[in-house]
Each structure stands twice: as structure tokens, then as C-alpha cells.
Structure 1
Amino acid sequence: MAHTIRWGIMATGWIANTFVRDLLKDPKARDASDIAHQIVAVASSSSKDKATQFITTLSIPDPCTAYSTYEDLVADPTVDVIYVATPHSHHFQNVMLALNAGKNVLCEKAFTVNAAQTKILCETAREKGLFLMEAVWTRYFPLSVQVREIIRSGEIGEVLRTVADTSFGDDVEEKWGTTHRMVNPDLAGGALLDLGIYSLTWVFQTLYHTLPKDQRKPPTVTSQMTPYHLTGADESTTILLTFPTSTPTNTGHPRASHGIAMTNIRVAADPDEQGTSGPNIRIQGTKGEIQVFGNPFRPTRYRVIPVKGKGQVREVECAFPDGGHGMFWEADEVARCLRDGRLESEGMPWEESIVIMEVMDEVRRQGGLVYPAKIESTEYPVQL
């Protein structure tokens, strides 16, 4: 019999809408008959009407309660896990609220504004015996799992370089102005935390996560950042990460590997949105290369290219079942972790979330990007 997990949804914006649409799809369509999802509560901090409208628009089945405060949401005894879909400026306060109410949490990425906040969340979850996971949905795609398995198998040899680009070319002044969350420092805006996390995800899941746990070592960081002239948030950030190891074996003559993580909101990695510009991700090993096509957060196919004379190029398409967006796979992981009594996911462990936040802290330090003290704070509670 399927193990059912009851969700409470914190916030009603676009990302929450997308997540819930995926939760409502039949798990059997993606061969996940062992678990099931039920949405039992939704909260909007602006009004109960907004939460009610969200429930109605998405045709969420009864019983599902609408709340006008997050405090009421986390107090609901029918909720097993809270999905935090607020801006990342608010994640630390919102997750602490949920953990202190005894709720398990799936929190949107970027996990928090800085590594100090992430560490406190993980410590709090451990102390309270609660499940906590950063919602890096891309990690749970079959495509991502397959790419990591190819690396671990040694098929492309020792991986020495990954290049990942998550960039969208927009007229920033006209489209984002000064108040939109993408460019608003009060909401921890900028390319790095919102989009750069995906480039870092590909670097980490190919050069760090594919090693045995006891061999994973944090990288050194060199970066350049271009601030957006109207707000000071970053509009372009390029990061060079040097890992002290190669992957997957790191034997013989251990070599450093390089990750190049790029993000930009003024130029596009895929200008015509037809894939004409080639892969957004290249994973380069001593015996071949994996190229990943489509947006780094939602890639659709990959290509494996062996070195000359060592086999055939192969193309692999990875469909999204039942017209889904792909967020159901991370939700399925949460359900299985809760069923099995695990506090964290192997696919996105706390330690790795912390290391990635430490990288972003260092990138911001090098770029001189500081957010308002209130959202950088490790105090709880703070009214935002």
C-alpha cells in the first residue's frame, strides 16, 4: 500500500503553484506507486482569500484548509511536512518557524541567505529529530541520476572539468526594474542566489557528490561579479571552483578538477531558445564528455561522447511524465525519507547544502555583495 504524505504549502506564488500541480499528478505515471501525496493546508501571509483562491484554482481535493498566517499553517496537526515557497530572504525565519512547531520541511533553494543560517537550520532539525531538505529539484531528475551514475562508472574517465551556464538575456531595467525579487536586495535578489545555484548544482553533483563521502573536499573559490547599477544586486557572476580531487576514483595521481559556474540576467546561454547554441553543461573527463541540453534547472536530454576510437556517441532523451514540470521527483524523495525515518536525503545532504552556501558566501565577499542586516541575521524570530 502507498505511503501517503500530507503537505502544508507555505506561500502561494508561481513556484508553489508549479510544485502543487506536480503533487496532484498520479505517482503511478512516473512509476512511484509506493508513495502518495495529499495537500491538506495552504497559507498565504497576505490573506486567507488568497490561500482559498489558490486551493480553488488548482482544484486541490478536500479536505484542504486555507490559512492567513504561517503560524496557523505550522500548527495544523494534520500536516506532515511543510513546503516553504517564500523568497529566500525569508527562508531562515520561515523554516525555523516550522521546525519549532515540530514540522518536517522541504525548503526552496537557495536554502538561506548565508551559510550561518543554513547551519542553524540543520542543527535545529537534528536536535528536534525532524526531516529537512533543500529543494534542489534538478538533483532528483532521472537525467541527473543517470549522469552521476555514468561518472561513477568511470565511463568518461576522471572528470577534470565541468562548465555550467544558467543565463537569461533580458532587458533588466525594463523587465525587472528595481523592486522585482530578482534584483531587489531586500529579497536577497540577484543572479547568484536565484540562478547561479543551478550552475553550482551541476558543478557539485559532478565533481563533488560523485566521490565517496569521506573523499569530498570543499573547493577554493575565485569569482567576478557585475552589480546591477540600479540596485547593487549582482546581474552577472562567474565562479571558478578548484576541487582538490578528480572524480570518481581519485587514485594514482590525484588531480585537481575545475568547475566553472556562470550566471547572467543580461545575456542568454540559449539566445534563440531552440538549443542552437549547444549544451549549457559540459562535463569533461579523460575518456570522454557528457553534454547536457536544455535549461540547467530542467534539462531534457544529454549526449555521451567517448574519446576518438573508443565507442559511439549516444543521445539520451529524458521525458517528463504526465506533462509534469519535474518537481514531483523531489517530493517523492521527501515522502520516502519520511516513510523510512531519515532526517536528510542522500541526494542533497545537509553537509553539501552548507558547503554550497559557503561558496556563495565567499563569492559575495569577493564581489562586495551584502544584503540588509535583517535578512542576513541568524537571530530568530526577526520580523521581516
Structure 2
Amino acid sequence: MAPKETRWGILATGGIAETFTKDLLIDPATRNVQNVKHAVVAAASSSSLSRAQEFLKSVGAPASAKPYGSYEELVKDDNIDIIYVATPHSHHYQNVMLCLEAGKNVLCEKAFTVNAAQAKKLVETARQKNLFLMEAVWTRYFPLSIYVREAITSGKLGTVIRVSADNSFGVIPEETFDTGHRMVNPDLAGGILLDTGIYSLTWVFQTLYLTQDPKTRKPPHVLSSMQKYPVTGADELTTILLTFPRDPQEGGDMHATATGGFRTSNDIDGKGTAGPAVRIQGTKGEMQVWAPIFRPTRTRLILKDGTTDDKNWPQPGPGQGSGWYNGFGAKKNAEGEGHGMFWEADEAATALLEGRKEGKYKSLDESVLIMEVMDEVRKQNGLTYPEKIETTERITL
């Protein structure tokens, strides 16, 4: 059976959109995906038509792909099956709602929204309109992540008790970001929590929450601490302690720490010598995952019976000799190596093919729950963003 083609529209033309779209255009057969394939049929920039034209050219989109100089024009294109929203998370709510109101399925970059109220409103709208909606937490769809979760659900680690996950930069923010940069600008919901903390929470939730029976699992209790970046007031160091309730006969409560910071690093020399950035610990052993935890390629399983199993998980792609490169920002991957954003695109396309309205490995309800956790962290530490990006009213940003 021939693969089903999914026609994508790209909303925004920044760095993450370029990385995603270049991955999207890789032949899925290079990663042994046979049921779907992808086509880029349009892209829109909010700044100008020429920027959209430049973007489509830079990613290698076909000449037939249409450029648009506004998001409003993009969502009216009848040839689009699904729109990938790649704006800063401060703008996700307004941009996704625009797509949903136009009847378009959506894959939205993480963090899903700025707060849980916005997330709930998007989910409610998607369900009312019978549209597909998914938060683009790409890491969950990696074969590496599936392997880690299977080690938990199979009982290989015994009863899992504790998880620690850290996603830190190792930069001096005063030297790295100007005050308008999305990483430190409160007007763009900048700071550690929504940008990098979401990855630490991803590892905690996909190991301690997703692996539980949906009928009996419960939201975690949350304690947190935060240090503000004095220049802008965004959070620069955030530590979250989560307690996941579990019946005593199942092993009792599970604990987790999810951390992130600008000035600290979980991969000091870029060679992995700092050790694992994620540790999933059970009664029979532990699973370790090396940084970067948003795009990990290395795991180690260590069991009490003496078993040690090291695995490398390189991302597939066109391969060496192809002359093709992808990456994010100034960092490029090895020649012919994809970035890994195609796994979430394959899942979204497969869901459309199967008639599902949300992702297999992260439900919309779980996306809302994680936003509620981040709301609680902000509440505990007095972190707020401007009303214009916290609101659920329809406005123009």
C-alpha cells in the first residue's frame, strides 16, 4: 500500500520552523516509515511575503509551495491538511486558535501555551470542531524514548521509585542574550521554565505518569524554587520536586526532580563526560539518558544482576555523501543526519490517517496537566507574564 501524503503548512519562519521543515522533507523510508509521507505546500511569515519566499527556498521546498505574508492567508489555503505552529510560546494560543477557527488540524510547538487556561480553551475548541491537535514534544516520539518507557512497563527496572532530569545551558545570560531575546524576554514568556524546563518535565512525565494505568494515575504534588534573572525578571534557575501518588501495594509514591538553569550545565564539555542528565531508578536497576535530553542519542541500562547495556541512537537521514545538513541555530549535525523532528510529524500524519484527534504518546489532557504544573510553579514563585500573553481573549499580538 502506497504511503498517504500529508500536506503541511508552516506558520512562522524562524529557526525551529526551518529545522522541522528540513526534517519533514526527508524521505520517511530512511527511517523505515512506510505508511505516510510529507509535503510542504505553504509557509507564512508575519513580517513579509519575501521572508516566506526566502524560507521555502532555504529549506528546499518544491517550487509549487505557496508563500504567504500573513498567517490569516495561510489558514485559508484549502490544500493544507495540517499546520505546524512554530512561533514563540507567548503567541501559541492566538496562532493555534486562528488555525482551529479556520478548520485546520494543528501540531503546535512546545510549550503548548503560556498557561493552563489557554491550553484548556484550545483543547475544548479542537474537540468541538473535531480537529486534530497535538503539542509538538518531539522527544516523546524518538525510538530512544519508546525504548526507555518499555524498560519501565516491562518491569525490567523493577518498581520505579525516582527520576531526576536536568536540562541546563551552561551560559552567562548577560553575555549571551540581549534583553529582547526570547529566552529572557517576559513579553515572549521567556525564561527557563517554559523553554527548557518543559524537557525536564517531559522526562519526568513520560516515565512516571505516561507509564501508569490511565484509569488510576493521579496528578503530582508540586514544590518548587526559582531564581530570577535580575536584568529582565525571567526565571534563570528553576527546581521542581514532584510527588506522584501511587497505591502502597504498587510501590508507594514516586518522586522526581525536574531542573533547569542558564549558568549550570549537564554536558560541560559536549562529550558526555559529565554523566547522564536523566536517571530513572527502580528496585532492579536504573536507566540513564545522556544530554542533550531534548535530543538524546545515548542510553545506559544498569541492573542489579550485573547487566550493563549501552546503546547509541543516531538520528537517521539521507546519510553521508548526501551533502545534506540539518541542525538548530549555529550547531549542525553530521552530514546526512536528521534532527529528529520527523518522528512527531510521522505521528501527526499517522493520527490523521487513522482518524485520531491527538497524539499517541502525549494526550491533550496530559498537555493541560503539565501546563497546570507549570502554573503552580509560577504561582509558588511569583512569576507572571504580561496580561496580553496570559489572556484567553482573542487579540492581535
Are 1:383 and 2:383 matched, yes or no? no
Alignment partner, residue 149 of structure 1: 150
Tell me by how many angstroms 1:17 deviates.
0.3
The equivalent position to 1:259 in structure 2, one of 233, 256, 259, is: 256
Alignment partner, residue 28 of structure 2: 27
- Residue 268 of structure 2 aligns with an amino acid whose one-letter code is P
The equivalent position to 2:314 in structure 1, one of 305, 310, 319, is: 319
- Is the partner of 2:215 in helix, strand or coil? helix
Provide the C-alpha distance between the structure 2 equivalents of 1:109 and 1:135, rounded to a whole number of angstroms.
6
Unmatched runs of 5 consecutive residues or more in structure 2: 318-336
Unmatched runs of 5 consecutive residues or more in structure 1: none
Provide the C-alpha distance between the structure 2 equivalents of 1:354 and 1:32, rounded to a whole number of angstroms.
30
- Residue 312 of structure 2 aligns with an amino acid whose one-letter code is E
The equivalent position to 1:340 in structure 2, one of 328, 332, 354, is: 354
CA RMSD of aligned residues (A): 0.9
What is the aligned-residue identity percentage?
59
Tell me by how many angstroms 1:332 deviates.
0.1
Any conservation in 1 of the 2:347–2:360 contact (CA below 8 Å)?
Answer: no
Provide the C-alpha distance between the structure 2 equivalents of 1:289 and 1:34, rounded to a whole number of angstroms.
34
Tell me by how many angstroms 1:253 deviates.
5.1
Tell me by how many angstroms 1:346 deviates.
2.0
Are 1:11 and 2:25 matched, yes or no? no
Alignment partner, residue 242 of structure 1: 243
Q: Deviations over 1:150-189 (max 9, x none)?
A: 1000011111110000001111012112110000000000
Normalized against structure 2, the TM-score is what?
Answer: 0.94
Provide the C-alpha distance between the structure 2 equivalents of 1:137 and 1:34, rounded to a whole number of angstroms.
19
- Residue 265 of structure 1 aligns with an amino acid whose one-letter code is F
Pairs within 5 Å for 1:102-251? 102-245=103-246
- Is the partner of 1:9 in helix, strand or coil? strand
Any conservation in 1 of the 2:266–2:291 contact (CA below 8 Å)?
Answer: no
- Residue 72 of structure 1 aligns with an amino acid whose one-letter code is E
Tell me by how many angstroms 1:331 deviates.
0.1
The equivalent position to 2:303 in structure 1, one of 281, 301, 306, is: 306
- Is the partner of 2:392 in helix, strand or coil? coil
Q: Deviations over 1:90-122 (max 9, x none)?
A: 000000000000000000000000000000000
Runs of 4+ in structure 1 over 4 Å off: none
Provide the C-alpha distance between the structure 2 equivalents of 1:244 and 1:173, rounded to a whole number of angstroms.
40
Normalized against structure 1, the TM-score is what?
Answer: 0.97
The equivalent position to 2:377 in structure 1, one of 357, 363, 384, is: 363
Tell me by how many angstroms 1:60 deviates.
0.6
Q: How many residues align?
A: 377
- Is the partner of 2:17 in helix, strand or coil? helix
Provide the C-alpha distance between the structure 2 equivalents of 1:315 and 1:215, rounded to a whole number of angstroms.
33
Provide the C-alpha distance between the structure 1 equivalents of 2:307 and 2:293, rounded to a whole number of angstroms.
25
Provide the C-alpha distance between the structure 1 equivalents of 2:63 and 2:36, rounded to a whole number of angstroms.
19
- Is the partner of 1:333 in helix, strand or coil? helix
- Is the partner of 2:167 in helix, strand or coil? strand
- Residue 162 of structure 2 aligns with an amino acid whose one-letter code is R
Provide the C-alpha distance between the structure 1 equivalents of 2:250 and 2:53, rounded to a whole number of angstroms.
60
- Is the partner of 2:345 in helix, strand or coil? helix
Any conservation in 1 of the 2:162–2:256 contact (CA below 8 Å)?
Answer: yes
Q: Deviations over 1:198-251 (max 9, x none)?
A: 000000000000011112210000000000001100000000000002xxxx67
Alignment partner, residue 50 of structure 2: 49
- Is the partner of 2:73 in helix, strand or coil? helix
